[in-house]
Amino acid sequence: MDFEDQLRRYFGTDDPAAIAPGALEAGIEKMRVDFGMEKDKGRRFALWTLLYLFGGAPDLDVAFDNEDDRNAARDFMDMMDKAGG
């Protein structure tokens, strides 16, 4: 999954700063639907990380049945927190 491709797919632009508020809400909703339907573990995790970056990720206990996946998501959140400040 290419980040810019996913931005274009869900938000109609590859520039996060150019996403209109309505497009943000609609894109997050479409990602949530795709996330719920996705069966591939890697693609599912990638969708969750994108949802997390845009403030729309489901809680870990809802998103992932597997403890290893929840721990990987926690690691990702920690990395994003450290990178942001």
Helices (H), the chain: 3-11, 21-37, 41-53, 60-63, 67-84
Q: Tell which wins on pLDDT, 84 or 36.
A: 36
Q: Which of 6, 84, 80 is nearest to 47 (CA)?
A: 6
pLDDT band per the 50, 70, 90 thresholds, residue 85: low
Assign 84 a pLDDT band (cuts: 50, 70, 90): confident
Categorize the per-residue pLDDT at 2 as very low, low, confident or very high, splitting at 50, 70 and 90.
confident
> CA dihedral defined by 59, 83, 81, 57, rounded to 10 degrees?
-20
Closest of 70, 71, 33, 24 to residue 15, by C-alpha: 24
Please determine, for residue 52, whether its predicted confidence score (pLDDT) is greater than 70.
yes
pLDDT in tens, 17-51: 999 999 999 999 999 999 999 999 999 999 999 99
CB 36 within 8 A of CB 43: no
